[in-house]
Amino acid sequence: METDRNEVAPLLERQASRLLAQVAQMVTRHTAAALETLGANRNEFAVLATLDGFGPDSQAGLSRRTNIDRSDMVAALAGLEAAGHVVRQVDANDRRRNVVQLTDAGRAHLAQLAAALDQAQAEAFAPLSGSELDQLQAMLLRLRDRHGGL
Protein backbone atom coordinates (compact mmCIF):
# COMPACT_ATOMS: atom_id res chain seq x y z
CA MET A 1 0.00 0.00 0.00
CA GLU A 2 1.52 3.29 -1.00
CA THR A 3 -1.24 5.81 -1.51
CA ASP A 4 -3.83 5.98 1.22
CA ARG A 5 -3.86 9.61 2.27
CA ASN A 6 -6.96 11.65 2.17
CA GLU A 7 -5.71 14.21 -0.26
CA VAL A 8 -7.98 14.84 -3.16
CA ALA A 9 -6.99 16.32 -6.48
CA PRO A 10 -7.72 20.05 -6.75
CA LEU A 11 -10.15 19.60 -9.59
CA LEU A 12 -12.07 17.03 -7.60
CA GLU A 13 -11.99 18.98 -4.37
CA ARG A 14 -13.94 21.77 -6.02
CA GLN A 15 -16.77 19.49 -7.01
CA ALA A 16 -19.42 20.22 -4.42
CA SER A 17 -21.63 17.78 -6.28
CA ARG A 18 -19.23 14.94 -5.59
CA LEU A 19 -18.95 15.86 -1.95
CA LEU A 20 -22.71 16.07 -1.70
CA ALA A 21 -23.10 12.64 -3.22
CA GLN A 22 -20.55 11.14 -0.88
CA VAL A 23 -22.14 12.56 2.23
CA ALA A 24 -25.59 11.59 1.07
CA GLN A 25 -24.42 8.05 0.56
CA MET A 26 -22.90 7.90 4.04
CA VAL A 27 -25.96 9.28 5.72
CA THR A 28 -28.32 7.16 3.68
CA ARG A 29 -26.41 4.07 4.58
CA HIS A 30 -26.49 4.90 8.23
CA THR A 31 -30.21 5.55 8.31
CA ALA A 32 -31.01 2.59 6.09
CA ALA A 33 -29.11 0.34 8.48
CA ALA A 34 -31.19 1.64 11.37
CA LEU A 35 -34.39 0.82 9.51
CA GLU A 36 -33.11 -2.56 8.47
CA THR A 37 -32.64 -3.70 12.07
CA LEU A 38 -36.39 -3.24 12.38
CA GLY A 39 -37.09 -5.03 9.13
CA ALA A 40 -37.99 -1.96 7.13
CA ASN A 41 -36.56 0.15 4.35
CA ARG A 42 -36.80 3.80 3.32
CA ASN A 43 -39.73 3.32 0.99
CA GLU A 44 -41.76 1.55 3.62
CA PHE A 45 -41.06 4.26 6.13
CA ALA A 46 -42.05 6.94 3.65
CA VAL A 47 -45.33 5.17 2.95
CA LEU A 48 -46.17 4.69 6.62
CA ALA A 49 -45.29 8.29 7.44
CA THR A 50 -47.40 9.57 4.57
CA LEU A 51 -50.39 7.47 5.56
CA ASP A 52 -49.97 8.73 9.09
CA GLY A 53 -49.80 12.34 7.95
CA PHE A 54 -52.55 12.35 5.36
CA GLY A 55 -54.75 9.37 6.00
CA PRO A 56 -55.81 6.59 3.62
CA ASP A 57 -54.95 7.03 -0.03
CA SER A 58 -54.69 5.11 -3.28
CA GLN A 59 -51.39 3.66 -4.38
CA ALA A 60 -51.08 6.24 -7.13
CA GLY A 61 -51.73 9.01 -4.64
CA LEU A 62 -49.08 7.65 -2.34
CA SER A 63 -46.67 7.46 -5.26
CA ARG A 64 -47.16 11.12 -6.04
CA ARG A 65 -46.81 12.28 -2.48
CA THR A 66 -43.76 10.23 -1.67
CA ASN A 67 -42.11 10.40 -5.08
CA ILE A 68 -41.85 6.66 -5.04
CA ASP A 69 -42.33 5.04 -8.41
CA ARG A 70 -45.68 3.31 -8.91
CA SER A 71 -43.81 0.12 -9.57
CA ASP A 72 -41.77 0.24 -6.40
CA MET A 73 -44.89 1.19 -4.46
CA VAL A 74 -46.35 -2.20 -5.32
CA ALA A 75 -43.39 -3.94 -3.69
CA ALA A 76 -43.38 -1.68 -0.65
CA LEU A 77 -47.08 -2.20 -0.03
CA ALA A 78 -46.83 -5.94 -0.53
CA GLY A 79 -44.29 -6.07 2.26
CA LEU A 80 -46.26 -3.79 4.52
CA GLU A 81 -49.45 -5.70 3.97
CA ALA A 82 -47.78 -9.04 4.60
CA ALA A 83 -46.49 -7.67 7.89
CA GLY A 84 -49.97 -6.44 8.81
CA HIS A 85 -48.93 -2.79 8.85
CA VAL A 86 -51.39 -1.68 6.19
CA VAL A 87 -54.52 -3.04 4.60
CA ARG A 88 -55.54 -2.63 0.98
CA GLN A 89 -59.10 -2.75 -0.21
CA VAL A 90 -60.74 -1.87 -3.48
CA ASP A 91 -62.30 1.60 -3.50
CA ALA A 92 -66.05 1.18 -3.85
CA ASN A 93 -66.35 4.52 -5.66
CA ASP A 94 -63.58 3.80 -8.16
CA ARG A 95 -62.85 0.13 -8.47
CA ARG A 96 -59.51 0.72 -10.21
CA ARG A 97 -58.10 1.92 -6.92
CA ASN A 98 -56.81 0.25 -3.83
CA VAL A 99 -57.39 2.28 -0.73
CA VAL A 100 -54.41 1.81 1.53
CA GLN A 101 -54.90 2.28 5.23
CA LEU A 102 -52.65 2.17 8.29
CA THR A 103 -53.40 -0.51 10.85
CA ASP A 104 -52.82 -0.10 14.56
CA ALA A 105 -49.84 -2.39 14.24
CA GLY A 106 -48.58 -0.20 11.39
CA ARG A 107 -48.91 2.89 13.51
CA ALA A 108 -46.96 1.28 16.32
CA HIS A 109 -44.34 0.12 13.85
CA LEU A 110 -44.05 3.63 12.44
CA ALA A 111 -43.41 5.02 15.91
CA GLN A 112 -40.56 2.58 16.36
CA LEU A 113 -39.10 3.39 12.96
CA ALA A 114 -39.35 7.12 13.57
CA ALA A 115 -37.53 6.80 16.88
CA ALA A 116 -34.77 4.70 15.31
CA LEU A 117 -34.45 7.15 12.44
CA ASP A 118 -34.27 10.13 14.74
CA GLN A 119 -31.42 8.53 16.58
CA ALA A 120 -29.58 7.45 13.43
CA GLN A 121 -29.94 10.93 12.06
CA ALA A 122 -28.70 12.58 15.19
CA GLU A 123 -25.61 10.41 14.91
CA ALA A 124 -25.12 11.09 11.24
CA PHE A 125 -25.33 14.85 11.68
CA ALA A 126 -23.56 14.95 15.04
CA PRO A 127 -20.66 17.05 13.72
CA LEU A 128 -23.08 19.91 13.07
CA SER A 129 -24.59 22.17 15.70
CA GLY A 130 -28.32 22.59 15.87
CA SER A 131 -28.31 25.90 14.07
CA GLU A 132 -25.94 24.56 11.43
CA LEU A 133 -28.25 21.66 10.78
CA ASP A 134 -31.07 24.16 10.40
CA GLN A 135 -29.02 26.14 7.91
CA LEU A 136 -28.15 22.99 6.00
CA GLN A 137 -31.75 21.92 5.87
CA ALA A 138 -32.86 25.36 4.69
CA MET A 139 -30.32 25.38 1.90
CA LEU A 140 -31.25 21.89 0.82
CA LEU A 141 -34.91 22.85 0.77
CA ARG A 142 -34.17 25.79 -1.47
CA LEU A 143 -32.14 23.61 -3.81
CA ARG A 144 -34.90 21.05 -3.96
CA ASP A 145 -37.77 23.46 -4.43
CA ARG A 146 -36.37 26.18 -6.64
CA HIS A 147 -34.49 23.78 -8.80
CA GLY A 148 -37.27 21.24 -8.68
CA GLY A 149 -37.40 20.66 -12.42
CA LEU A 150 -33.70 19.84 -12.51
Partner DNA sequence: CGTATTTCAGCTTCACTGATATAC
Partner DNA sequence: CGTATATCAGTGGAGCTGAAATAC
Question: Using CB distances below 5 to 8 A depending on partner kind, what does residue 41 bind out of a copy of itself, DNA, none?
Answer: DNA
Strand partners, 89: 99
Q: Are 117 and 35 in contact (CB under 8 A)?
A: yes
> Cβ of residue 30: shortest distance to a copy of itself, in angstroms?
6
Question: Using CB distances below 5 to 8 A depending on partner kind, what does residue 122 bind out of DNA, a copy of itself, none?
Answer: none
- How many CB atoms sit inside 10 A of residue 15's CB? 13
Binding residue for DNA, selected from 65, 88, 121, 124, defined by CB under 7 A: 88
Task: For residues 85 and 108, give the distance between their C-alpha atoms in angstroms, rounded to a whole number.
Answer: 9
Q: Is 101 helix (H, G, I), strand (E, B) or coil?
A: strand
Restricting to residues 32-61, name those near DNA by CB under 7 A: 32, 41-43, 58-61
Task: For residues 122 and 129, give the distance between their C-alpha atoms in angstroms, rounded to a whole number.
Answer: 10
Please report whether residue 83 would count as binding DNA according to CB under 7 A. no
Contact positions vs DNA (CB under 7 A): 1-2, 21, 25, 32, 41-43, 58-61, 63, 67-74, 77-78, 88, 94-98
